[in-house]
Structure 1
């Protein structure tokens, strides 16, 4: 029982502590209905017959018999069922992360910059036989966003991808795209790229730093989610991006140079020259359609944990970009069946006897 509600009852009773009755709404079964359920159940009535008699949904009766039956005998006892229902209605309820052992293993993984979804999936595998050490990703988010929920350490929200201490409503920010000559739209991209069946199709974008003066190119391979980070020490103008992409794409094995998908930013104005120098056709998304580069958008969100907005990206060396890309490429991904992007890419390249591509250029 919440403490404030207890004070209200004491005040309403003139200072005496009353014994409250749990009020039941029409949404939940009351004691009279539970008595009727027990009588009909003993007489051999089916779930649907009981539901018709009470004017309830059959799923409600089925759930009542399943949740409130005696745990050992399986028989339905109406007074015991009413008591269980009243106990479940009490608030606040203890949280999963009130268990210190579970909170400790969650905190250990949070400090390694794992996402709540990755933590939840990992616990389900590592502690498969111990349900008390498993927790959903939403419960972890709640422990970080709501103060006082569980024993997870304070300020661990800084290890989330965006470091927020509360959920932020998503808004729509539209930016008019610049005009790019001779662009080929996404609708003309090969069907094999859409199905993610063949490696070598990439999605690309920029993450921009302070005052829009610094940037890093992010390339994500669609099949393996392998990421390549490219330095732009001379800014992100169209000529600077052209030179950087030509160097990065020419390092890739020929079988991994099938296509590149980009948005309609003016930094890609020299796309024809890039294609001529690398042999990689470039396709452009529709305006205001970031979901058409979903893998790259997701990766950019992960990278913001390492390169926060408003910071100078030129301060990061090529070695640091390599370390960040390697950490992400060696992280198990749920969408890959818990395999890593680096492992999957190595597996694909081993068929041709080629070594894995470097994580940065």
Structure 2
């Protein structure tokens, strides 16, 4: 909780003083509430009205004033809306961490410390997301999609994807990639994956149709398939700069590392599949196709709840197997270990030692 409060003030300060570029949803929130200074954003931000609605309760929290110059606006309504969006992002990240902890403890039956490790890992990785915009608000929906796939719950999956379509379209795309990868390459439960894939693909298609019909201005190249290949080619050059390596390359590599770790869990009861690598590759390819510049890693990190839970299960199994097999977690060696005396080897022909029964230390003076 303390870390969440610190993160809120960090995010709030970045947004309020415009310390770095970000997608500003504060005017959209003001528009929904009918407050002064409201405005309808451009595409694709206008379609994420669910994220703004989920931030409404935070608009009425006590106003935290930061007494520093160069604020992006002097409007109290705008400052309150910026605070609300910042608080909503951090709050829903915290909710996603709680969901991760609960699933690890209740369903995966992992020890408490591993549930905490999973939740903390997700919280750390969430800093790659755009917490000054609406990425954090979508994270619980990604977590629910992953859990519903793990549990093979079609109703939970469909309801989550339907609601998430109004929160952030990337959740439905991720659901499509997850179920599609498992349907094509997993060896069991393919019937469930096929049904889930059809449902997720229908939501994605409906979203694309709505975008094509409504035709809100902005980012027209992202809805023009003929430009996807040229956009992807232009994105490749960005990967070779320091900024590109950090923003576009590092987050997918972290996710691939978590995916690789997740494969180490025992096959029986394992919630991960080798096919899950397709989710990372697919979301990165999508980001390249729509030319998001230095936001590839941010978009890829939407997958974090999925791979944090699978990797946590695997790491916990490594630990439990080590204890069961008598392998110490830590076996420090001293420099005098080799000089320590050992029991002498028995002399050939000597009688075996006699066990003393009924004796204590007092019997030997």
**What TM-score does the superposition give when structure 1 sets the normalisation length?**
0.22
- Larger helix share, 1 or 2: 2
**What TM-score does the superposition give when structure 2 sets the normalisation length?**
0.22
- Larger strand share, 1 or 2: 1
Larger radius of gyration: 1
